[in-house]
Each structure stands twice: as structure tokens, then as C-alpha cells.
Structure 1
Amino acid sequence: MEQWYEELFTDYADKYENETFTQGTIGEVDFIVKEINNDKNFKILDIGCGTGRHAIELAKRGYNVTGVDLSESMINKAREKAKNAQINVDFKVGDARNLSFENKFDLVIMLCEGAFPLMETDEMNFEILKNAAKALKKNGKLIFTTLNGLYPLYHSVKEFMDTNMVDGTSSDNSFDLMTFRDKSNFELEDDNGNLKVLECNERYYVPSEITWLLKSLNFRKIDIYSCKLGNFSRNDILTTEDYEMLVIAEF
């Protein structure tokens, strides 16, 4: 049985390109190259690369990039875009929970929830982080974005307090305070004009969880910031109003 994220990214590559959340590529890549001091010797792995928007932009700027995604249609679109741009990116169909890379890359990126934290169990999400860490060289850096648990936690509790509920539940709020998972229905029209209704299940993480998980993978320096579309910055402090967080981890 296909999981919701597998069904989502089947026959969705063209529509994906026009989504609002995919429009910040240039600014996000500007931040990435600044983080690695514009060092063209860096080998970069893009996990959950989708249609290759970050990987292709990095390759245009002279970087050696490998992109991996679970969706064959997304990878096919990425290869087509790279060919049209006359650049070389090594795009592969692969599962982020089961990658064979080891001590190979200077930088790993996972942006716009391309893989982590969409998995159906916490263990699967952790496997993705483990594989990202394993793929890095000993002085490597990991940059990724993920859903900020402070946002639904704050707003769910606030709603509870504002409405004086006694059982802590609400039919309008699918966020589970015990698991930090949000279940929702997502409607979309795929590239073939078919209407789909997907039962999404996403895991939100609070900063302390992310810090603990990364420390358990031997990352020593972990910085977490607000994540703003197309404008990543170390100057933006994470708040309860940020839907996503930007994580930068180094060994």
C-alpha cells in the first residue's frame, strides 16, 4: 500500500514546480553557498531533491551535486530540467531510509520537507537523519528544514485555553499533543487532471528533540533558526509563529 507522500509525488512534478513553496530557490541556494564559503570543492548530496530545483541551481554555480528522491516522476523531471539547462547532476531514484552513501559528501541538504519528517514512524524519520550523517565526511555539514512543533503546540494549547475545553480534544484540530503528529486531508489535482484526496500524516519536532537526535549522531554544533521561504538567515530567531525551522548541524 502506498503511503500518502508516495501518492502525492506520483504524477505531480509539473504542478509541484508552480507551488508557492518552491519559489524561493535562488535565495535558499545563496544561503547554502555562503554556509560553505563558496567552496567549489564541496561535494553536495540533496536528499528528497524533488524536481531538482536546489541541486540544479547549485550545479549551475559550479558544484558537484548528487540528488536522491523516492519519486521516479520527480527524478525524471529533474533529469529533463538538468539536460535542458546543459548541466550535469547525478540524479538517482532512492529511499532516504535506505541509502548506501558513506563518508562521501561535504554537505548534505534536505529542504522543504523532501524526506524528513514525512515518514509514518519516528524510527523511519531517524533512519533518514542517520543516513544523512553517514553520508557526510568527518568535517561535514548538514542543512535541513523541518516542521516546527512549537507552532501547533502553542496554537493548540492556546485554543484549548481560549475555549475552556476540559478533555483537551477538538474535532477541528487534528494535532495530537501526545505524538506531535498532524493528520489532515489534502486535495490536489495531479499532472493528468486527476483529483486526489490524500490523508496526510506529518511529524512536527520541537528544537530540543532535533538537538537530541543530532547529538546522538555525533553532531557537535547544532543551530536552529526560523525558516523563511527564499530567505534563510542565521539572524532569524525561531518563534512559536514559525511553521518551519532551519537546522544547521556540524560534526
Structure 2
Amino acid sequence: MTTKPWYEDLFENYANKYDSESFTQGTKGECDFIERELQSNKTLKIIDVGCGTGRHTIELTKRGYSVTGIDLSASQLKKAREKAATENLDIDFRQQDARNITLKNEFDVAIMLCEGGFPLMETDEMNFEILKSVTEALKAKGKFVFTTLNGLFPLFNSVEKFLAAEGKEGNATYRDNSFDLMTFRDHNVTEFEDDDGNKKVIASNERYYVPSEITWLLKSIGYRNIDIFGAKLGAFSRNDKLTTKDFEMLVIAEL
């Protein structure tokens, strides 16, 4: 039995497979939204937290933005650097823990999309450390755009059925989901095949948040304007009011 946290185990040798997962297919549309939020201001410095294989970092760099990508996983970063090299892009990818980002007051904008660290941590305190650490990486009037799991969804819907319907052949599968009303954590057994074709089974759990929690957490670390919307894959929009049918929520916060 592994002693690593489940998310480290998952991403250890999963970079190629990760890029074919259904939830990673909305990159261009999501970057369109980021551009609209930034009013296409290419002087802004961006940090992509939990950048994975670099899909948003690379797409935004191609569009002329200055982006630094950080991730905990060496194998995800290796894939990101390879992808950047094939596009002849010089991108600063760094292996960093989102709970302890060493870059302080450097960025105008932080993005953290597709559960890039938050809300995967073992405790609420660790998840909060990520929000604080990202905030410390921002300049005084910084903006933070991220997606996270919508705690309203599992109260009205089956997470297991949703994930089964969204997946496709070759993707990771999830079973034995149980949602804990006291902690708002969904526990499940995740089965997947790594990049070497090895079948792996891990016990994972993710924290779902309700909008009022996110608002309170962000206000407590200095954000003044906080907007929360439904997050539709590849089509983020301020026009999508958050509902119980949204699996994820889109958070836009300004210091």
C-alpha cells in the first residue's frame, strides 16, 4: 500500500493519459474566457497553479501572454515541457507545492482550473493553505480565477452516475462513491491505467464546497469582489448562474 497522498499517486505516471481525459478537452474555450476577463491585456503576468501538462499555460503563451506554470508532479511537468518544446515555446514551468508557492507578489493574475490542487488535499486546512499561498503570489490588486467542486451538486445528484456518464473509453473510472454530509467529501475508488499500461487502483477523496464557504474563505484572506458561476467545460461564462446541476463552480475573485 502506498504511503503517498492519493493525488500524488494518481499523477505520478499519468501525463499522456491525462491529456485524453474528457475533462481536459475544453482548453481553448476556457482560455477564451480568461482573455475576456483580462481584457486581452498581454502586459499582465499570470501564474497557472496546478498546471498539469501545461494545457492552459501553453495556450495562453501561444496567444502572447506571460505565464508561469507550477505543479507538484514531476511527470506532469516533464510532459508540459515536451509539449512546449514542440511548439517552440520558452515557458517557465516549476515544480512547486501549491500550499507553499515561493514566488511572492509577482503576478497580476492566478488561474487554477480543473481542480489544480484545491480541493484535493487531505484536510480543509491544507486546501485553505493553497488559497492563501496563491494569494501571496499575487500583486496588490490581483485577480484569482479558479474552478472547484460544487457542494450543491451531490446533495441533489449522484456523483458516481455523473462521472460514469462523462467518461469515455480509456479514461479513469470511479466506483463506490460515498458522499459524507458532515465533511462534504466524496470518497471513491479510482481505477485507471498509467502511461506504461499498468492498472492502478487508489482510494481517493475530494472536498466539495458550497458557495458561501468559498466566499467566506476568500473574504478572510482579503478578497473584496467575489463572483461565483456555474462552470461549463470549455465554455466558462459570467452568464451561467450556479445551479444544483453544475458539477463545478467558477470563482472569480479580486483583491
CA RMSD of aligned residues (A): 0.9
What is aligned with 1:164? none
Residue number among 209, 217, 220 corresponding to 1:205 in the alignment: 209
Superposed displacement of residue 153, structure 1: 2.1
What is aligned with 2:35? 33
Given that 1:101 and 1:131 are in contact with CA atoms closer than 8 Å, whether structure 2 keeps it comes out as: no
- Structure 1 ranges of 4+ moved more than 6 A: none
Residue number among 163, 172, 175 corresponding to 2:179 in the alignment: 175
Residue number among 179, 196, 201 corresponding to 2:200 in the alignment: 196
Unaligned stretches of 5+ residues in structure 2: 159-175
Q: Normalised by the size of structure 1, how large is the TM-score? A: 0.92
What is aligned with 2:254? 250
Deviations 1:149-181 (A, max 9, x none): 00112347xxxxxxxxxxxxxxx6510000000
Deviations 1:223-251 (A, max 9, x none): 00000000000000000011000000001
Unaligned stretches of 5+ residues in structure 1: 157-171
Residue number among 16, 21, 24 corresponding to 1:22 in the alignment: 24
Task: Return the letter of the residue paired with 1:228.
Answer: K
Q: Is the aligned partner of 1:185 residue 2:189?
A: yes
Given that 2:194 and 2:200 are in contact with CA atoms closer than 8 Å, whether structure 1 keeps it comes out as: yes
Deviations 1:129-150 (A, max 9, x none): 0011111111110000000000
Given that 1:174 and 1:182 are in contact with CA atoms closer than 8 Å, whether structure 2 keeps it comes out as: yes
Given that 1:207 and 1:224 are in contact with CA atoms closer than 8 Å, whether structure 2 keeps it comes out as: yes
Superposed displacement of residue 99, structure 1: 1.0
What is aligned with 1:229? 233
| Percent of matched pairs sharing the same residue | 66
2:29 aligned counterpart, secondary structure: helix
Given that 1:43 and 1:64 are in contact with CA atoms closer than 8 Å, whether structure 2 keeps it comes out as: yes
Count residues in correspondence.
236
1:20-169 to structure 2, matched below 5 A, reads 20-155=22-157
What is aligned with 1:240? 244
